Copies of this chain bind each other. A is one copy, B any other.
């Protein structure tokens, strides 16, 4: 399946925050090109061509190819952080908040998997400064999930041997959805979100009250 076909079935990001329109079109073209051929195999000429623009027109908006990757990565990570922060700061019990964090994070990785793949797999292609900024955003994502798990342990709702390792495993499980998820496959993003929320609650040893809150 081509990336164009893949993106056609995606709910993915709308990149509404990127203006003007030409800058947004170039960014979307860059996401598709990076996902299809990899960052290093993509030229600014390829990206301009996909957006139906000239290389000169691209340079008005982005000085380098790395600037495009940096912008994509920053917007992607800010959105991921927003999703996790909303779940973490919810009013429900740790069980409800963890299920919410997992299902919404999974839906984002399944529904917008072309973007998610670029955001998750091209981290090493960023220069040192950009990379440091993105790593800081990733630490904040990690902290949101860790906080919910710590709250669950403190409340006696979860039974966890290694909070740091379990946090990493929960995020890893959600992120890898971007690798395997296929719109032609047997599951919708919502179904994977629900399955994974259940599996993660098992991982943290959440109390299971049949018919209870959030289950």
Chain A positions within 8 Å of B, measured between CB atoms, are 37-41, 120-121, 161-162, 164-166, 168-169, 172-173, 175-177, 179-180, 186-187, 192, 195-196, 198-199, 202-203, 205
Contacts of A41 in B (CB 8 A): 37-41
- Which of A176, A186, A192, A195 is packed against the most chain B CB atoms within 10 Å? A176
Q: Which secondary structure dominates where chain A touches chain B?
A: helix
User: Bound complex: CA of A199 vs CA of B158, how far in Å?
Assistant: 13
Residue of B nearest to A3 (CB): B124
Contacting pair A187 B165 (CB below 8 A):
yes
Contacts of A165 in B (CB 8 A): 187, 192, 195
Shortest C-beta distance, A147 to chain B (Å), equals 19
Shortest C-beta distance, A26 to chain B (Å), equals 20
